[in-house]
Amino acid sequence: MTLGTVDYVLLVGSVVASALIGIYFTNKNKSMEAYMMGDRSMSVFPVGVSLMTSCLSGLTLLGASAEFFYQGPTYSFVFIPMLLSGPITAFTMLPVFYRMNTLSLYKYLHKRYGLTIKYIVTVVFMLQMIFYNAVVLYLPSMALGGTLGVPRFYSILLLGITCIIYSGIGGVKAVIWSDLFQAVLMFAALFVVGLLGTLDAGGFQEVLHQAKEGGRLDLTGFFNLDLTTRHTLLGIVIGSTIKHVYLVGVNQVQIQRALSLATLRQGQLAFCFCSLCGALVILMASYLGAVIAAAYRSCDPFISGDIARRDAILVHYVAHRLAVIPGLRGIFVAGIFSATLSTLSSFANSMAALALEDFVRPIMRTMKIKRLSDTDTTWLAKLLATLFGIACVLTAYLIEKANSRLLQATTTMFGAIGVPFLASFALGIFTRFVNTTGILAGFAVTLSLGSYITIYQTFFRRPLEPLMPVYYSEQCERVFNMTLTSDELTYEPSFLPLYKSFTSFSVDQISYMMLPTVQFVLMILVTSLVSILTGGLNQEVDDEYLISFMQRGSGKKLGSSDSVSSGGIITKTMRPTPETNDAEYNERFPARNYSKNLHQASLRRDVAPNKTGTG
């Protein structure tokens, strides 16, 4: 079944509207700060919504509903980590980043641990984001193409070009306001499909009744402490919270938006609002799984062969059960496209900021190239955002040719890589004794373990818990030898409720929800031990890089004769001379004087000798 004329009008109209927002803000960016930080004049509501849309994508909408239908209600409890991640970020890490007052989040790692850690994390993060956002672009296009007949090639191209237009030329203001518009479409799609689906099923009570009859409200095994069980309360509340704090709190995409607000208080409110909206999306998408269960209580479309992937069941439901309503499919596809666009646009803009601050400017200083004017720097940032958008589109086309298991490995590695990133920031903010050597050791061990388990479970997967009872009748043909690969949603063909037990525990059997907890604890232990053994207890760290309750004055405040070494540790040095240029001084001396105009001044490279810039 394909889209109708009304559907295409609504879909194309929503995409064009996003592009027009970017065009509108093209001439509004008179400076680099306006392009990257929105002149720090944004308000809490649009920024909070933008934070939410940046960490949720079309994969969330498709995956959460399919998860409820095929695996039961346990994944819907991810709304708890969503609620926790925003406040945790807002009141622990965000104050430190506001004090740093820097465009690049990873400048913190430079100041705290040195250049080596900063460049390792930055490069890995940028590669990770390119591949992940390519998957975010590819998977919804595949699901929509297979069910609604939307050509995969053109949907990828349309989304990619639109993203490049409004994020590349419009800057962060265009991204934030486009995110708000796209969030409205996303919530509208969820609400309309949920409402009409509920009416189609016979009412809310009937939806719950059918979910209960089908075992989709059963929480058996959810409260155990087994590390190998796919979803448990412990795994979700702790493991998924760790993952979501990484997604929300130590992510350039998110922090750059928070810094577009004038005050720390506004940033904290935006993160809390982000959590509320994100939790609501998870619950709404999960409820659609219950609606689908009521609709397909006599025949599972996957068993009948109507869909080739289980995560396409929501698209299939809208296309066939609700197709009688003109324009509904267009609204739904626009919602999926909007969720995808909001993630992609935030990626392109933030990667441009990272590349400019952490690579282009340092290289120009090293080569003693004359600094660019503010206007030229803005145009360079736009070019970088465009190039990252193009790279994402090309990678999406390459993924189309990749093995399905390789695709899953790309998406699930997101969490395995993210935990060491989060731990690096958390240990730097919450401790004084952790040093560069300890972080390098902990990062290497933790990343290796996470990568091994993720790759092993992808290519040599262990038996999963059985699916929910599948429905079939005499009209529903059984189709065997089917597999699915998607983000955190992998199934083996199983039509019998048989649990497979393990005779012994092995580390590669750890649930993907518990893996972040194991990684986080391991990195704390390894990093702490190595730091202590390599003299970490004897170092002093400036209070600027620590959370407020750690600022007890034991770390010496930086004076005119102190500098920050490559590991962010206070050491004696000669006083800066008049011949010392501002770039060298800024790299050697940390920030001591904070003002509202610091960031703008640093971007213009005219920082006074007693201040520091963003590099």
- Angle at which helices 313-321 and 264-295 cross, to 10°: 60
Task: Indicate if 521 and 548 belong to the same structural domain.
Answer: no
Q: Are 274 and 257 in contact (CB under 8 A)?
A: no
> For 192-236, what is each residue's pLDDT tens digit?
999 999 999 999 999 999 888 888 888 888 898 888 888 899 999
State how far the Cα of 612 lies from the Cα of 315, in Å rounded to an integer: 52
> For 501-548, what is each residue's pLDDT tens digit?
444 557 777 888 888 999 999 999 999 999 999 999 998 888 888 998
Residue 471: per-residue pLDDT: 57
Residue 467: per-residue pLDDT: 63
> For 444-498, what is each residue's pLDDT tens digit?
999 999 888 888 877 776 555 556 666 555 555 443 333 333 333 333 333 333 3
Choose one of 533, 567, 594: the last residue of a domain.
533
* Amino acid at position 602, single letter: S
Q: Which of 538, 508, 536 is nearest to 440 (CA)?
A: 536
State how far the Cα of 8 lies from the Cα of 5, in Å rounded to an integer: 5
Q: Quick one: residue 513, left, alpha or beta (phi over 0 = left, psi -120 to 50 = alpha)?
A: alpha
CATH code for the domain of 71: 1.20.1730.10
Q: Quick one: residue 613, left, alpha or beta (phi over 0 = left, psi -120 to 50 = alpha)?
A: beta
- Return all residues near 595 (Cβ < 8 A) that are at least 6 apart: none
The number of angstroms, rounded, from the C-alpha of 536 to the middle of its chain's C-alpha atoms is: 32
Residue 144: per-residue pLDDT: 67
Residue 39 phi/psi, 5-degree rounding, is 60, 15
Residue 601: per-residue pLDDT: 41
Task: Indicate if 557 and 490 belong to the same structural domain.
Answer: no
Task: Indicate if 57 and 180 belong to the same structural domain.
Answer: yes
- Number of residues in the chain: 615
Q: What's the total number of domains in the chain?
A: 2
pTM: 0.81
- Let me know if residue 614 belongs to a domain: no
- Let me know if residue 610 belongs to a domain: no
- Angle at CA 88, nearest 5°, toward 87 and 89? 90
Q: Are 62 and 318 in contact (CB under 8 A)?
A: no
> For 343-370, what is each residue's pLDDT tens digit?
887 888 889 989 999 999 888 888 888 8
Where the chain has pLDDT below 70, the residues are: 1, 143-144, 146-150, 402-412, 461-505, 552-615
Residue 143: per-residue pLDDT: 65
Structural tokens at position 30: 């008179």
Cβ neighbours around 577 below 10 Å, total: 7
Residue 26: per-residue pLDDT: 76
Task: Indicate if 453 and 570 belong to the same structural domain.
Answer: no
Choose one of 498, 533, 568: the last residue of a domain.
533
Domain of residue 482 covers 5-533
Choose one of 533, 548, 566: the last residue of a domain.
533
